[in-house]
Structure 1
């Protein structure tokens, strides 16, 4: 088949799928935003997206939809060039529906099967919005904005022949009318590479020293350090952890931009805001901020981690949690719906009330102090990751079947 994969950050979630489709003899083409320079094992075509400034006063609650349809128009124009100038007609289109890219592709290729990667459907109850009262209370104006934001997602789902979502809880966020067409298939992780290694060591970038497997290492990972991933909660727990465990080393991975939510009041980064808030209570000699890491360095860090803390509001589940499970770290996670799906308290990790800083500090310190008592949790987490999220043996075969047959 001819398979067109559409993603502004291609290959994005299709990283493992792309070479597997090629290996099965399919002709694969990526369509992505101009300026995306991520390596690709297949040919890539580009759309140019230079959106005009959105007049919030004019579009009011329609701002998100305007932004999505502007991008969708750019994608459709690029698709038209592929069809009319190059004679390209795909059998299958598979795109992430989060930014509107798939909205108008039916008008260019009406006969193609249209599949979407449906990651999350925003809502005002039981999800990310209004979850943490520190960042605003529910109110009608904010709620209307959340509901309006879902217009493009709903349109994309209505057009799709089938959809895939990485977790059961994320799939449950979509309206009931869409759920029958959603297959729950995780992207998968490389559990062969992300495995326990008692000889692993990680070089600390701030002073060049090494941490070794077996040492008292606490890790926290997020694409960007921000409240959506409980960064402020984790930081507030650290002074007590460092006091209780004088030999512990803390390694924090992530950028300082804002992926979700809002920046701190007054600007700057959440990293700087939390360092300022904690002041002298934070022993900076034992708290190491790495920024983002190359994959191999990240892998080695996960392999030296004794305890990994993963916190999130009810939102998309991060790959980093599954990767930490795969390396056998003891997981201390927030007792929120996305985490509950993969961590069972006392079996594959420990769950702590997202808002209970004292309990979080205690759980982290206890797990650091007595690795033998918690080793069974790491082993069980590793087994869970291999059984459910191995991309080669579990996830990829299901994704291939989805692309080849879904919606037929």
Structure 2
């Protein structure tokens, strides 16, 4: 088959699937934004980056931005068709930025497969979940409806879709869920595994190992969606109870989801201002780090803390579990799909900083249950989320939808 992947930041969610399909003899090509500098495992063509549309009105602008990207992606696809005679049998894309909306007009015979990451919803998910950040106003819900319009349109067009978790699949309207197959992206459990010899060098030159009392926290950006504010507010009690503890925090100062504090600045600056007595000699902010350093952190951590709104589940949780780390996580719906309290980790209410601090302290103590919980966490990933198994299921899904199976 001829297969076209479409993602403005390719390979995005497809770093394993695209080359695996190429290895099976399919002709695989990727269409991406001209500004995307990520290395690609398959040949790439690029469309011109969209110009922000001049649209007045917040609700209209939300859809216009995605429609504009759809237009430039479609023009790139048309050039691929008219100048090079390329006609894919399958288009596999992420609908989040609108790129797929017009592609079936260029290739009406192609089947469209989508990565169903999440459907925005006005109630029951992130909107209004955290009153400190989002009050759940009518205006906020109006914007959420506008932001979801292109996702609904894309899913209606799709022949089939794939979602990494049941929670994420369940965020879509019931009328569309029949199109979705749940298969996780997959964790490389050979690479992401316990390593007693792992070491992490801090910016000041200090080297941490598994012999140290390390508490890890990881997020693409340090923000409320991933419970950064709750985690920080729990730290004074943790540091007081565990005088040898070292807290290592990975993540950028910007925002990936939601917005900055109302008063401006970063959430990191806001929390440090709120906690002036925090012992920063034992709290280490590393920013964003190379993958090998991130993996070493998971391998040396005595406890890994993961908090999230009802939202997309982070790879950091599944990778921490694969690394055999003691997990303390928020008792929120996406987390409960992987973690059961007392079985393969510990769950605490998202907003309960006292319960969080107590659970982190208990884990740092190296209690008798730690070895069992850590082994069970890794086994959870081996049993249902290992890359070698997930990738074979993804390949089978693609070829089944294409009519090859």
Compute the TM-score of the two structures, normalised by the length of structure 2.
Answer: 0.98
Measured against aligned partners, the alpha-carbon deviations of 1:265-284 in whole angstroms (never above 9, x if no partner) come to 2322111111111111x110
CA contact (8 A) 1:62 1:149 kept: no
Q: Which ranges of 4 or more aligned residues in structure 1 deviate by more than 3 Å?
A: none
Measured against aligned partners, the alpha-carbon deviations of 1:208-267 in whole angstroms (never above 9, x if no partner) come to 111111321100000111000000000100010000000000100011111100111232
Q: Secondary structure at the match of 1:127?
A: coil
Distance in 1 between the 2:337 and 2:93 partners? Answer: 25
Distance in 1 between the 2:79 and 2:298 partners? Answer: 45
Distance in 2 between the 1:35 and 1:325 partners? Answer: 34
Gaps of 5+ in 1: none
Deviation at 1:185, TM superposition (A): 0.8
Correspondent of 1:403 among 393, 398, 402: 398
Correspondent of 2:199 among 198, 201, 205: 201
Distance in 1 between the 2:384 and 2:181 partners? Answer: 15
Q: Residue 235 in 1 paired to residue 225 in 2?
A: no
Q: Partner of 2:46 in structure 1?
A: 46
Deviation at 1:160, TM superposition (A): 0.3
Distance in 2 between the 1:56 and 1:129 partners? Answer: 24
Deviation at 1:367, TM superposition (A): 0.7
Measured against aligned partners, the alpha-carbon deviations of 1:109-128 in whole angstroms (never above 9, x if no partner) come to 00011000010001122101
Q: Partner of 1:10 in structure 2?
A: 10
Deviation at 1:26, TM superposition (A): 1.0
Q: Partner of 2:289 in structure 1?
A: 293
Q: Residue 356 in 1 paired to residue 340 in 2?
A: no
Correspondent of 1:277 among 271, 274, 278: 274
Correspondent of 1:377 among 370, 373, 376: 373
Distance in 2 between the 1:375 and 1:80 partners? Answer: 56
Q: Secondary structure at the match of 2:259?
A: coil
Distance in 2 between the 1:103 and 1:271 partners? Answer: 37
Correspondent of 2:91 among 81, 90, 93: 93
Q: Secondary structure at the match of 1:134?
A: coil
Q: Residue 78 in 1 paired to residue 76 in 2?
A: yes
Q: Partner of 2:299 in structure 1?
A: 303
CA contact (8 A) 1:162 1:407 kept: no
Q: Partner of 2:257 in structure 1?
A: 260
Distance in 1 between the 2:55 and 2:146 partners? Answer: 16
Correspondent of 2:242 among 245, 248, 256: 245
Distance in 1 between the 2:345 and 2:132 partners? Answer: 27
Measured against aligned partners, the alpha-carbon deviations of 1:334-365 in whole angstroms (never above 9, x if no partner) come to 00000010000000100000010101001001
Equivalences for residues 109-124 of structure 1 within 5 A: 109-124=107-122
Distance in 2 between the 1:56 and 1:167 partners? Answer: 37
Q: Secondary structure at the match of 2:174?
A: coil
Deviation at 1:53, TM superposition (A): 4.1
Q: Over the residues paired in the alignment, what is the CA RMSD in angstroms?
A: 1.1
Measured against aligned partners, the alpha-carbon deviations of 1:280-315 in whole angstroms (never above 9, x if no partner) come to 1x1100111111111111111111011000000000
Q: Partner of 1:23 in structure 2?
A: 23
Q: Secondary structure at the match of 2:93?
A: strand
Gaps of 5+ in 2: none
Q: Secondary structure at the match of 2:136?
A: coil
Q: Secondary structure at the match of 1:355?
A: coil
Aligned length: 403
